[in-house]
Amino acid sequence: MPEIRVTPLGAGQDVGRSCILVSIAGKNVMLDCGMHMGFSDDRRFPDFSYITRSGRLTDFLDCVIISHFHLDHCGALPYFSEMVGYDGPIYMTQPTQAICPILLEDYRKIAVDKKGEANFFTSQMIKDCMKKVVAVHLHQTVQVDDELEIKAYYAGHVLGAAMFQIKVGSESVVYTGDYNMTPDRHLGAAWIDKCRPNLLITESTYATTIRDSKRCRERDFLKKVHETVERGGKVLIPVFALGRAQELCILLETFWERMDLKAPIYFSTGLTEKANHYYKLFIPWTNQKIRKTFVQRNMFEFKHVKAFDRAFADSPGPMVVFATPGMLHAGQSLQIFRKWAGNEKNMVIMPGYCVQGTVGHKILSGQRKLEMEGRQVLEVKMQVEYMSFSAHADAKGIMQLVGQAEPENVLLVHGEAKKMEFLKQKIEQEFRVSCYMPANGETVTLPTSPSIPVGISLGLLKRELAQGLLPDSKKPRLLHGTLIMKDSNFRLVSSEQALKELGLAEHQLRFTCRVHLHDTRKEQETAVRVYSHLKSVLKDHCVQHLPDGSVTVESILIQAAAHSEDPGTKVLLVSWTYQDEELGSYLTSLLKKGLPQAS
């Protein structure tokens, strides 16, 4: 029985290190290869030993697909390809391919900072991994091999994020990665066509939430930054190199312009140029407004946002600084935080999730006295704000996408079990489809009935139409024809055409039957009696008595012969073709009743 099997190695009832194995029509695909930043040992990566057990990795896996550049979706990729030994193709969109190394380098820095070089993949490994990537365009069908094809759809969420349709023959799976169904300041909304996949694997981060408008959060953000700057305070926004930071930069830039504010905005480690470069390069991936205004003004060429120098942190007066890394793990953002933490006029805004084991996590949970190296205690007097700007579809958005794609089944990943449970019920009720939510390591198996497309010959259709019945889409009709497979295609044609195309000679199938008659006369006379009898009974048929003594009725042939043992009995040999089956059966039964007595 054909089936689709899905096993999450990560993102099954949790968020972090997305890695989902899909087996479809004998092809094995890995969807995302993420890492969990909350661990600093091997647990940060998915447990790939479950794949390596199936033999050589490159032989087992047909391809790896990466949905977007966030580390919980691509962070384990260099480890997987350069250290575990996967040597096959990796697919992602062009912006993801371009931005991935920056984020991976960003995290490599944190890892090396904490544990030393030996603990992690090297820069060379990141580059070698990126060289294995095949970039895909939106809506372009990419043939992975003769049977497996993939197609990317726009997912919003971050620059270059994509949903992927994986198709083998008539079976297909759609994996959403992370997506956003509402456009934001720099990206558009996710979109997919009515592709009716056998299975839709969707993220469910905000499975139970109807998120407030992003505008409200943006207003709140601007208000807080503005208030802090107005009272002479400094604002620190810890960010990862690319993504959310650019969205917030656009927001501040526009606000600064409108309000004519003078306080400087800085962006650390040369990221402004870098971000500018990538957003310019991938302008088609941004939202409509940015694309439209791009000719007059590139939104990413900031007037107010300047490159940060370490010395600026000590400058007096208000300022806004975007610094890496995003969770106050280490490095520059942590250094600035330490400097500014003691002043209640200052503010730190955490624009995203922070894992346990980071200073970001501590201050978000309300801790205000932090122990630093050497038993020093840092008192946090600055204001701490959390504003999630992550762009995920909320419950409404997820339902909208399910409605758009019309899948046969839905499988939830990248979310919490309790929330998934709620959404699962909702999906099952509303769309009448099965919904699954496997935990990590659990396999969901879906039997499929692959439809095999069959072409039909025009001649056969015309012949059917000639019978006078007009086709009606609501009424199935029985159609006789010959199914032929030629050049890996199935076609239904008339038997004549089939014979012609396949170069075959026609065979005649005849049914035969023996009927015993009590008749002492000679065989020829018996034959004449049969002829006369049939002639009188079958008035509408052509009954002939042939010179060789046999009698024919249409294609039916009757011959009389003597019985080998009983001279008083004659044997009638009756044979007829498949086409005259009905008449043949009738004749046999007629003859079995015997001949009328001669008058």
Partner 1 sequence: MDPECSRLLPALCAVLADPGQPVADDTCLEKLLDWFTAVTEAGSSLLLLQENPCLVELLFHVLKSQDLSSRILSFSLRLAGIFAAQENCFQYLQGELLPMLFGEVGPLGGAAWTAPAVRSGWIQGLRTLAQHPSALRFLAACGAVDTIFSLQGDPSLFVASAAGQLLVHILDLAMRGPAEGHRSPQACDWPACAQKIVGHIEDSLCSTAVPQVTQALSVLTTAFGHCHGLWTQGLWVRLSPLVARLLEKDPVPASHSLVDLLLSVARSAPSSYRGLWETLAQTLSHLSPTQAGPLALGILKLQDCPQALRTQAFGILLQPLACVLEAAAQAPGPPGLLEGAAGNSMTVDTLLSSKSACVGLLCCALAHLGLLQPLPQRPSPWPQAPLLGAAVTILRLCSGSAAPTSDVGSRLCAILVGCGRVQRAALDFLGALSQGTGPQELVTQVFSVLLEYLVSPESSSMSWMPVGHFQRLLPRKNEVRCSLSPCIPSPSYTPGRGRGQAGQLTPGPAAPLFPLQVLKKAFQATLRWLLSSPKTPGCCDLDPHTQLFLRELLPVLQKRLCSPCWEVRDSGLEFLTQMTRHWGGQAGFRQALLASEVPELTKQLLRDPESYVRASAVTATGQLSSWGLCATPAGHECPGAQQESLLVELLHILSTDSEGFPRRAVMQVFTEWLRDGHADVAEDAEQFVAGALQAASRDLDWEVRAQGLELALVFLEQLLGQRGSHCPYAVALPETAPPGVLAQALQVLCRVQLFEFAFRALFDCDRPVAQKSCDLLLFLRAKAAPCGSPQEAGDSPNVASVEATLQRWQAGEQGQPLGYLEPGAVVALLRSVDLEGLRDTLAESSDHVEKSPQSLLQDMLAAVGVLGENEADCY
Q: Which is nearer to partner 1, 149 or 408 (CB)?
A: 149
Binding residues among 147-166 for partner 1 as defined by CB under 8 A:
149
User: Which structure tokens are listed for 284?
Assistant: 């088609």
Regarding 584 and contact with partner 1 (CB under 8 A), the answer is no
Nearest to 339 by CA among 264, 233, 244: 233
Say whether 117 is catalytic.
no
Contact pick of 392, 424, 529, 570 for partner 1 (by CB under 8 A): 392
CB 191 → partner 1: shortest distance, Å? 20
Regarding 573 and contact with partner 1 (CB under 8 A), the answer is no
CA–CA distance, 315 with 10 (Å, rounded to integer): 45
Regarding 169 and contact with partner 1 (CB under 8 A), the answer is no
Q: Which is nearer to partner 1, 144 or 189 (CB)?
A: 144
From the number of C-beta atoms within 10 Å of its C-beta (0-12, 13-18, 19+), residue 413 rates as buried
Q: Which is nearer to partner 1, 178 or 519 (CB)?
A: 178
Contact pick of 23, 40, 170, 497 for partner 1 (by CB under 8 A): 40
Whether cis (ω within 30° of 0) applies to the bond prior to 325 is yes
C-beta of residue 66 within 8 angstroms of C-beta of residue 99: no
Regarding 132 and contact with partner 1 (CB under 8 A), the answer is yes
Regarding 230 and contact with partner 1 (CB under 8 A), the answer is no
Q: Which is nearer to partner 1, 146 or 260 (CB)?
A: 146
CB 228 → partner 1: shortest distance, Å? 19
508 half-sphere exposure, CB direction, 13 A CA radius: 11
Residue type for position 390: S
* Catalytic-role residue among 82, 203, 218, 247: 203
Residue 470: in which H helix or E strand, if any? none
Phi then psi dihedrals of residue 266, to 5 deg:
-115, 150
Q: What track of x and - describes contact with partner 1 for positions 340 through 379 (by CB under 8 A)?
A: ----------x-xxxxxxxx-xx-xxxx---xxxx-----
Regarding 487 and contact with partner 1 (CB under 8 A), the answer is no
Regarding 565 and contact with partner 1 (CB under 8 A), the answer is no
CB 504 → partner 1: shortest distance, Å? 24
Regarding 311 and contact with partner 1 (CB under 8 A), the answer is yes
Q: Which is nearer to partner 1, 50 or 578 (CB)?
A: 50
Q: Which is nearer to partner 1, 406 or 416 (CB)?
A: 416
Nearest to 227 by CA among 363, 359, 349, 367: 349
Regarding 396 and contact with partner 1 (CB under 8 A), the answer is no
CB 190 → partner 1: shortest distance, Å? 15
Regarding 279 and contact with partner 1 (CB under 8 A), the answer is no
Query: How are beta strands 434-436 and 409-413 bridged, if at all?
Result: parallel
Binding residues among 404-463 for partner 1 as defined by CB under 8 A:
416-417, 439-443
Helices 94-115, 331-340: axis angle to 10 degrees equals 60
- Which range, of 8-16, 296-304, 403-411, 578-586, touches partner 1 by CB under 8 A? 8-16
Beta strands in 242-386 (DSSP E): 265-267, 305-307, 319-323, 347-350, 369-371, 377-379, 383-386
Binding residues among 505-564 for partner 1 as defined by CB under 8 A:
none
DSSP label at 598?
P
C-beta of residue 408 within 8 angstroms of C-beta of residue 199: yes
CA–CA distance, 330 with 205 (Å, rounded to integer): 27
CB 417 → partner 1: shortest distance, Å? 8
54: left (phi over 0), alpha (psi -120 to 50) or beta: alpha
Binding residues among 204-223 for partner 1 as defined by CB under 8 A:
205-206
Binding residues among 42-101 for partner 1 as defined by CB under 8 A:
43, 47, 50, 54-56, 58-59, 70-73, 87-89, 94, 97-98, 101
Regarding 489 and contact with partner 1 (CB under 8 A), the answer is no
Nearest to 119 by CA among 19, 10, 42, 16: 42
Regarding 32 and contact with partner 1 (CB under 8 A), the answer is no
For residues 287, 293, 297, 299, the Cα torsion angle rounded to the nearest 10 degrees is: -20
Q: Which is nearer to partner 1, 268 or 588 (CB)?
A: 268
Q: Which is nearer to partner 1, 127 or 521 (CB)?
A: 127
Helices (H), 38-135: 49-52, 57-60, 71-74, 77-78, 94-115, 123-130
CA–CA distance, 168 with 332 (Å, rounded to integer): 48
Regarding 38 and contact with partner 1 (CB under 8 A), the answer is yes
C-alpha distance from residue 370 to each of 360, 361, 377, 411 (Å): 11, 11, 5, 42
Nearest to 137 by CA among 320, 284, 268: 284
What residues contact residue 365 under an 8 Å CB cut-off, 6+ apart? none
Regarding 240 and contact with partner 1 (CB under 8 A), the answer is yes
Regarding 167 and contact with partner 1 (CB under 8 A), the answer is no
CB 7 → partner 1: shortest distance, Å? 6
Interface with partner 1 (CB under 8 A), residue total: 109
CB 281 → partner 1: shortest distance, Å? 5
Regarding 259 and contact with partner 1 (CB under 8 A), the answer is no
CB 305 → partner 1: shortest distance, Å? 15
Sign, Cα dihedral of 477, 3, 485, 489: positive
Q: Which is nearer to partner 1, 355 or 538 (CB)?
A: 355
Regarding 294 and contact with partner 1 (CB under 8 A), the answer is no
Contact pick of 4, 6, 10, 16 for partner 1 (by CB under 8 A): 16
Q: Which residues are catalytic?
A: 203
